[in-house]
Amino acid sequence: MRSLLAQVYAIDLLAFGASAKPIMKYTVELWQDLAVDFLAEFVDAPAVLVGNSLGSLIALAVSPSYLQTPKRLADGAALASATASRPAP
């Protein structure tokens, strides 16, 4: 049974919040790579990723990438305020 206590990290994606805003092209792949690097360096157990809005997309993008690494770092993802787009009728 898992502990009821958990370590929580709240990170700003590059160019959001208080993070740096270098002039460059921002892509889902860039944010995915940065999130993977963060988890690999600072999180020492499998994590559940929670994202809000664009963070939801990044959480989903990151989760499968862990399945292909020797050390599994993600157990799943949860979405908060996720937005979806539909093609116009």
Model pLDDT for residues 16-50, shown as the tens digit of each residue: 888 889 999 999 899 989 988 888 888 877 778 88
pTM above 0.75, yes or no: no
Q: What is the identity of the amino acid at 78?
A: A
- CA 73 – CA 88 distance, rounded (Å): 38
- CA 46 – CA 54 distance, rounded (Å): 22
The pLDDT, as a whole number, for residue 27 is 92
Domains in the chain: boundaries: 1-89
